Amino acid sequence: MKHQVRLVVAVDRCTGKSSLLAAASSGRFPESVSPVLPPTRLPADYYPDAVPVMITDTASSLEGKAKLEEELKQADAVVLTYACYKPETLSRLQTFWISKFVV
Ligand SMILES: Nc1nc2c(ncn2[C@@H]2O[C@H](COP(=O)(O)OP(=O)(O)O)[C@@H](O)[C@H]2O)c(=O)[nH]1
Ligand SMILES: [Mg+2]
């Protein structure tokens, strides 16, 4: 039985990673968000089984690559985002990102 589930939100910039995390933890869409949010724990009653969920935001930059790889090693699941109005961000999940998550 897990005591905590770790989610990592990853992929290209401006696909809504930080906004998604902020919205999930606060219950409302943020007007503005920092480029990378600190690790955030979802409210205890977010899921009915009450297992705490910790979500880690990531940077999309090359400088953030080493940190992303570290986070992925510890992740139970990865949340991938894309921007509906930028179809190329959806293609990039297949052509670039998905290979990063296959171990
Ligand atoms: N319309 C709309 N805009 C969004 C949504 N999610 C994020 N955005 C906007 O997209 C921009 C980039 O979002 P951000 O969360 O910083 O993306 P990140 O770089 O992937 O972390 C911001 O201006 C957000 O307000 C969404 O679901 N709908
Ligand atoms: Mg961000």
User: For residue 43, what is the domain's CATH number?
Assistant: 3.40.50.300
- Is pLDDT of 73 > 70? yes
- Is pLDDT of 79 > 70? yes
Residues with Cβ within 8 Å of residue 59, at least 6 apart in sequence: 13, 35, 36, 67, 68
What does the alpha-carbon distance between residue 24 and residue 40 come to, in Å, rounded to a whole number?
10
What are the pLDDT digits (tens) for 1-55? 678 899 999 999 999 999 999 999 999 999 999 999 999 999 888 888 888 999 9
Host domain of residue 72 = 5-101
What does the alpha-carbon distance between residue 74 and residue 94 come to, in Å, rounded to a whole number?
22
Span from the CA of 48 to the centroid of ligand 2 (angstroms): 28
Q: How many separate domains does the chain show?
A: 1
pTM score of the predicted model: 0.92
Give phi and psi for 83, each to the nearest 5.
-100, 120
Q: Is the CB–ligand 1 distance for residue 37 below 6 Å?
A: no
The answer to whether 47 and 39 are in contact (CB under 8 A) is: no
